[in-house]
Structure 1
Amino acid sequence: MLNISISFNNRIFKSVKEAMEELGCQFREQNQHSVLVWTDSIRDADYFSNLNPWQVVNRIPCAHVLCRKASLTRCIQQIAEYFPQLYNFYPKSYILPFKNSAFLRALKRTKCAWIIKPDSGSLGQGITILNPGSEYPPDESLSVAQEYVDSFLLNNTKFDLRIYALVTSVDPLTIYIYRDGLARFCSEATGHHSVFSQITNVTLNKQNPELDKFEEISRLISDTFPRLEKECNADIKKLWSEIDNIIVLSIMSAHRYLKTAVQRDCAPSIISRCFQIFGFDILLDRELHPHVIEVNYRPNLEYHRGPERRMKVTMIRDAIAIAAPLESLQAAVEVRPYGWDAASWKAFLLNNPTIINQIEQSRKRAIELSKYELIYPSTGDKQKVYQSVLNKIDQLKADVLPGTLISTEKDD
């Protein structure tokens, strides 16, 4: 049980409402006295300027930098110059139209396939796959061309993974991963050379008239990984470790932008006032090494069958319990619902350390009861590597990124 009040704007996913009900939370539209503000909007909007000092929101300022294809590519390319071996999980990429000439040379020179994705595209829309020897007529739309990664196959069928990462704080950076998710399969076997055999998007594959059952294209990772272990001798512990690593490194690549935005728009008041669930699309190559394909700002939380419902509701429920265990804050607001400003609220928390202690104890219990696992900060030598990467990232110049305000010059 989590005795807090949650305010929401407009529509929320059914799975989110069910998660809140399981926690025993009260929720109502635009309640100024709620400690948690929830939105399921996919728009990158101002969720922060109207927050009260005690309120926490499930959106991180500037998160679109991590989730737009062009800006994510640029962030990773910048730090990969210094740590190329750490960032080899991201496919070779060109941001178009700025790198049209370089991409055309690569297209002519290489014998691999390429996939071109619109910067803000979703649901598999607007994707073009260029086979070796294909021509590409350049245009001016912002997109990313990526080297096509040959997927590991199950039953001769391509699939990828939807992994959920929970960022509960940007400074200090704190990241959890959920030890389940979705394995999303193409609805046609490899070799058909159709969109249904090359793109794993569930919405797209549902349109295949040859699809018999929904579970053919969407399965739980907790069902799929044991199969990989049994049929393919996969080392699942090692696979999860590699997935953890590339998710941490991906989020870190955008850290300087996120950190600046949080300080400007949603600065902590002793505790973090923003968090977000990100959906990472991970592709396994033929050697079962994971690659980040893209990051979803608001992963689809709808469900289509019982097992998926249970997984998503539990994932959301536990994310709320970990990110917003704010019963002691809610009690304080109910005792004194008016008269707070940012300074007086911060002073109140500083003078009442037991409130912060209660929050941390509640968070610890929630983690222990969940499938979430802390992946950053890490420990030992791994944390030393992460820290050196993060230090370098925070030293880099914060360029204006493509897809935000474009200042990159076109190549010739």
Structure 2
Amino acid sequence: MPRRRPTIKFRTSFANTIYDVMTARGWKETDSDTDWDFHWAEREWVYEVFDTMHLEPHQRLNHFRNGRELCRKDLLVKNLKRMKRGLQRDGQVDQAKAYDFMPLSFVLPREYAMFVEEFKRSGGVWIMKPIGSAQGRGIFLFSRLSEISEWRTDPYRHLNKDDKDPPRAEPEAYIVQRYIENPYLVGGKKFDMRLYVLVTSFSPLVAYMYRGGFARFSHTRYSSDPADIANNFVHLTNVAIQKTAENYDARSGGKKDLRSVKLLLAAEHGMAAVDRVFLAIERVVVRSLIAVQHVMIADKHCFELYGYDVLIDDELKPWLIEVNASPSLSANTKEDYQLKCDMLHDCLDIVDVEGRLRGDERSVGGFDLVYDGGVVEPDPQDCPWSTRLGTKVERENDGGD
């Protein structure tokens, strides 16, 4: 007779899908600061409290101590550039070229002079993003240096009007990137993809990728006309921005599931070409994790669920837009709720505070092991493609085999 597992005590400040999933598993909520088995914490709690605590061997936490190295825009760029330089220095030219998956980037105001030199040389459209904000706050496009001059003297000029932050003595740190002006379009609209990646260890690096996900679409047809450069409904796919558009489609939430997008691409380009694209996306994820592996503070108590935002251009090249340490777990449609609940159940199965796994699983629910001290490829007897990303997640209750 199997040993009865004790009730799992969890702590969280969230009241969305992760709370629903933990309670659905029979876990019991606690408000104790220390007496818990599992804590789904906010990032701020980790930065402010984690270093003051001693965790017991069985306790698990959903963030690594210095997750900013991957998820803060300026630090991600720094780590990717350092990785590329190291490969070039070691003569690994092809590997270094493989790190050209993030748009040309500069951190302002520190690298302002370098950016201006590049801008004067090549011009074009650029995009500015605050290094630490989310949901599209403070993002704007520009094609003239005069707009940067205005930002330097009025750093809150492009923030939402309802922002309550006090003015700064100096401009907020931003990252400026060359804008991808040739995005792949579906129905004439721009989109990017939100993908889920679970890292259970950075030493050694162990990472899983979720087969599902979704594409976030702009509300307005894409335009490269300079007159539309300030229209966020054309250029930014963030749900927080798009849902404020007139005639916003609340039923779909401006989203389409990843498998549907993959089938649309396959109908246009063939499955072999699309398989190469999705494998390239998977490799972008793996390389970004390798780039930060040696600077992350390894801790056996920690795991992290990342939200990767990836865009593909009209030449089917994937571009990494950003990595989110706290991807939104709120749902704006029934389908969105089901996707996130299923994904979180599978995530918690892998973290395995209940002690159910053998420890040698290559797939758990919709998550597939993609890196375990080295790249993990699908078994050709089980999967005819190079990656399972974007394929259907078969579940017992949906009629799958």
Q: Provide the TM-score with structure 2 as the length reference.
A: 0.78
CA distance in 2, matches of 1:135, 1:369: 49
Q: Cα distance 1:210–1:179, how it changes in 2: closer, same or farther (>3 A)?
A: same
Shift of 1:33: 4.5
| Structure 2 counterpart SS, 1:215 | coil
| Structure 2 counterpart SS, 1:62 | coil
The answer to whether 1:196 aligns with 2:233 is yes
Contact 2:127 2:141 in 1 (8 A): yes
Q: Cα distance 1:101–1:298, how it changes in 2: closer, same or farther (>3 A)?
A: same
2:268 is matched with which residue?
A: 231
Which of 165, 175, 187 is equivalent to 1:144?
A: 175
CA distance in 2, matches of 1:165, 1:3: 28
The answer to whether 1:278 aligns with 2:312 is no
Shift of 1:248: 1.1
Query: Which structure has more helix as a fraction of its residues?
Result: 1
CA displacement 1:320-345 (0-9 Å, x = unmatched)? 1101x1335xxxxxxxxxxxxxxxxx
2:124 is matched with which residue?
A: 112
CA displacement 1:32-86 (0-9 Å, x = unmatched)? 4432222145664333532432211111110011111111111111111234312
Residue type at the aligned position of 1:89:
F
CA displacement 1:122-178 (0-9 Å, x = unmatched)? 111111211377653163431111111131111111100111110101111111111
Residue type at the aligned position of 2:354:
E
The answer to whether 1:66 aligns with 2:70 is yes
Shift of 1:103: 0.7
Contact 1:166 1:175 in 2 (8 A): yes
1:187 is matched with which residue?
A: 219
The answer to whether 1:46 aligns with 2:62 is no
Which of 130, 140, 147 is equivalent to 2:142?
A: 130
Task: Supply the RMSD in Å over aligned alpha carbons.
Answer: 2.5
Q: Cα distance 1:208–1:275, how it changes in 2: closer, same or farther (>3 A)?
A: same
Residue type at the aligned position of 2:275:
K
1:29 is matched with which residue?
A: 31
Q: Tell me which of the two structures has the higher relative contact order, counting C-alpha pairs closer than 8 angstroms and 6 or more residues apart.
A: 1
1:377 is matched with which residue?
A: 372
Q: Cα distance 1:238–1:13, how it changes in 2: closer, same or farther (>3 A)?
A: farther
Shift of 1:293: 0.8
User: Which range moved further: 94-103 or 15-24?
Assistant: 15-24
The answer to whether 1:94 aligns with 2:106 is yes
Contact 2:83 2:291 in 1 (8 A): yes
CA distance in 2, matches of 1:327, 1:179: 24
Residue type at the aligned position of 1:85:
K
User: Which range moved further: 155-164 or 102-111?
Assistant: 102-111
Shift of 1:16: 0.6
Which of 147, 150, 154 is equivalent to 2:186?
A: 154
The answer to whether 1:18 aligns with 2:13 is no
The answer to whether 1:320 aligns with 2:348 is yes
Contact 1:2 1:327 in 2 (8 A): yes
Contact 1:7 1:31 in 2 (8 A): no
CA distance in 2, matches of 1:381, 1:322: 16
Contact 1:3 1:25 in 2 (8 A): no
CA distance in 1, matches of 2:97, 2:198: 25
Count of residues in correspondence between the two structures: 338
CA distance in 2, matches of 1:321, 1:283: 29
1:240 is matched with which residue?
A: 278
CA displacement 1:279-313 (0-9 Å, x = unmatched)? 11101111122111111110000001111111101
Contact 1:42 1:298 in 2 (8 A): no
CA distance in 2, matches of 1:288, 1:381: 23
Q: Cα distance 1:56–1:369, how it changes in 2: closer, same or farther (>3 A)?
A: closer
CA distance in 2, matches of 1:203, 1:77: 30
Q: Cα distance 1:48–1:174, how it changes in 2: closer, same or farther (>3 A)?
A: farther
Q: Cα distance 1:232–1:61, how it changes in 2: closer, same or farther (>3 A)?
A: same
Residue type at the aligned position of 1:94:
F
CA displacement 1:250-300 (0-9 Å, x = unmatched)? 122122221xx33xxx4xxxxx21101011110111112211111111000
| Structure 2 counterpart SS, 1:81 | helix
Q: Cα distance 1:132–1:159, how it changes in 2: closer, same or farther (>3 A)?
A: farther
1:78 is matched with which residue?
A: 82
CA distance in 2, matches of 1:151, 1:209: 23
CA displacement 1:341-387 (0-9 Å, x = unmatched)? xxxxxxxxxxxxxxxxxx650x556x6441101111275799xxxxx
Structure 2: gaps spanning 5 or more residues:
88-95, 153-170, 378-401
Contact 1:6 1:31 in 2 (8 A): no
Residue type at the aligned position of 1:71:
L
| Structure 1 counterpart SS, 2:70 | helix
CA displacement 1:10-29 (0-9 Å, x = unmatched)? x2142012222343333322
